[in-house]
């Protein structure tokens, strides 16, 4: 069997397939026969080899010429490789090793070919060991490939990132001065592990965890959702909390929107402005933990709209320092969380039965938000799919829906239902027991 390198996922469609056989006619001829068979089914074939080899191949039937394109790539010169030697039939056995060295020099023309061709599959041979990593870099040619459900997801689901989130993820995966991408780090780490531990539970997302087990081909062990434990509620030693509590105590039960996007997510200036204007437009009381700068070396400090804090002084509070999130969310006055879909924040909210409004920005936030929306666990602020733009009205409408409107009742009820799962100590203990059992049994 020859290696198959996947470039895209397709259903019952006509495929674009490239073929790169080893430079021996015992390989070239069978590859050509396979190419003819696939072409007879209507698939488009790019048959790649050196000029002299292609010129020496048998002619194909005229009916197949629209489906098979012969791609000639020049073999680089290698010391000790005779001139015009392009296949094993041109060489004595002791010089075939130089042909393999020349074959390795086909990397550059193959990169050029991949950059200018949209493919579904490449069928390659034993000698081109370098083609796999190359294909991995060029395997997806369009944002659209990432936002459609791959065919290896065997169950029905609408969970997927938007085009905007894919674009932002790709921008954040690597930089020009970084020599190892995040995707390579993750893939290599998983490949080298004996098992994968996930912050989740099969009760929370059974289908996706089962799929991961199949894809990784190694144990996937859940450690539960790790709900936050309440502190000892000794308020006297925390001045900032006492001030916050004093502000929250003045608000009606379930009336306040709590906004926070974690320690790593900083909105763009555009996103900050739209969000602030949306909060103001909603008229709802809010407590906003705002991360406007990521460390002192961050010189792109985002700013609230001019006059925003003055206009909303009676409506909300903006905190630009660390805040005790779980204490705040636990307060009776907090009715809704507006978050980025980070696991810590969504667990804090759901374990307390507080409904969620989601505004994902980057990393895995778009996928997590899509899953929560599909399961009716949360509502997502509407953003344009391609550029991620959103309006103050979409923020205000989402908050109003989940906080007070009858149509948003399902989100409030679903949040209450989730309390039993996240607050179930037996589920968390079972996950921990299974992890320890695996570690203990595997260490013998």
Tell me which residues are annotated as active site: 27, 125
Helix (H) or strand (E) holding 38: helix 25-39
Q: What's phi and psi for 69, nearest 5 deg? A: -110, 125
- Nearest-CA neighbor of 119 among 171, 47, 187? 47
- Nearest-CA neighbor of 116 among 16, 34, 28? 16
**SS3 (DSSP) at 362:** coil
Helix 365-374, helix 163-173: angle, nearest 10: 150
Tell me which residue has tokens 């190892």. Answer: 180
**SS3 (DSSP) at 162:** coil
SS (H, E, C) 365-421: HHHHHHHHHHCCCEEECCCCCCCCCCCHHHHHHHHHHHHCCHHHHHHHHHHHHHHHH
Q: In this structure, what token pair is assigned to residue 327?
A: 């204490």
Sequence-separated (6 or more) residues with CB below 8 Å from residue 296:
none
Sheet with 378-380: strands ordered across? 316-319, 286-289, 256-260, 334-339, 356-358, 378-380
CB 43 within 8 A of CB 132: no
Residue 218 burial (C-beta neighbours within 10 Å; 0-12, 13-18, 19+): middle
Alpha helices in 223-264, H assignment, sequence order: 239-249
Q: Alpha-carbon distance 161 to 173, whole Å?
A: 15
The per-type count for the chain, helices as H runs and strands as E runs, is 18, 13
- Nearest-CA neighbor of 330 among 265, 238, 233? 233
Alpha helices in 116-204, H assignment, sequence order: 131-138, 144-147, 163-173, 182-192
Tell me which residue has tokens 């081909």. Answer: 217
**How many beta carbons lie within 10 A of that of residue 259, not counting itself?**
25
Going from the C-alpha of 290 to that of each of 262, 274, 293, 326, 391, the distances in angstroms are 9, 14, 9, 16, 19
- Nearest-CA neighbor of 244 among 335, 348, 321? 321
């Amino acid at each position: 069997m020859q290696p198959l390198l996947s470039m895209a996922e397709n259903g019952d469609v006509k495929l674009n397939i490239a073929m790169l056989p080893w430079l021996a006619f015992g390989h070239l001829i069978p590859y050509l026969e396979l190419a003819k068979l696939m072409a007879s089914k209507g698939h488009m074939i790019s048959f790649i080899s050196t000029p002299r080899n292609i010129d020496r191949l048998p002619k194909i039937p005229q009916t197949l010429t629209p489906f098979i394109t012969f791609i000639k790539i020049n073999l680089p010169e290698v010391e000790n490789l005779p001139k015009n030697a392009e296949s094993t039939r041109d060489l004595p056995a002791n010089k075939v090793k130089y042909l393999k060295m020349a074959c390795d020099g086909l990397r550059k023309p193959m990169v050029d070919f991949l950059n200018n061709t949209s493919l579904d599959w490449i069928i390659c041979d034993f000698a081109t060991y370098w083609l796999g990593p190359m294909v991995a870099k060029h395997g997806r040619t369009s944002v659209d490939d990432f936002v459609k459900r791959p065919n290896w997801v065997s169950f029905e689901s609408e969970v997927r990132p938007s085009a905007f989130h894919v674009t932002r993820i790709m921008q954040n995966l690597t930089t020009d001065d970084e020599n190892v991408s995040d995707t390579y780090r993750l893939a290599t780490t998983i490949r080298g592990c004996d098992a994968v531990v996930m912050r989740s539970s099969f009760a929370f997302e059974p289908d996706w965890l089962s799929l991961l087990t199949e894809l990784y081909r190694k144990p996937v062990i859940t450690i539960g959702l790790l709900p936050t434990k309440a502190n000892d509620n000794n308020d006297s030693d925390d001045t900032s909390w006492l001030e916050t509590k004093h502000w929250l105590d003045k608000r009606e039960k379930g009336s306040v929107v709590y906004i926070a996007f974690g320690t790593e997510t900083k909105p763009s200036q555009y996103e900050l402005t739209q969000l602030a204007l949306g909060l103001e437009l909603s008229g709802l009381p809010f407590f906003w933990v705002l991360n406007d700068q990521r460390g002192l070396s961050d010189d792109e400090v985002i700013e609230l709209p001019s006059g925003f804090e003055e206009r909303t002084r009676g409506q909300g509070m903006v905190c630009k320092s660390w805040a005790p999130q779980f204490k705040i969310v636990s307060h009776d006055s907090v009715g809704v969380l507006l978050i980025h879909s980070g696991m810590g924040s969504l667990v804090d909210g759901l374990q307390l039965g507080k409904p969620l409004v989601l505004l994902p920005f980057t990393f895995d936030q778009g996928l997590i938000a899509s899953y929560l929306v599909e399961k009716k666990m949360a509502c997502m602020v509407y953003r344009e799919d391609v550029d991620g733009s959103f309006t103050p009205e979409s923020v205000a409408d989402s908050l109003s829906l989940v906080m007070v409107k009858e149509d948003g009742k399902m989100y409030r009820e679903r949040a209450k239902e989730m309390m039993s799962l996240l607050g179930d100590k037996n589920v968390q203990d079972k996950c921990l027991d299974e992890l320890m059992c695996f570690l203990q049994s595997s260490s013998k």
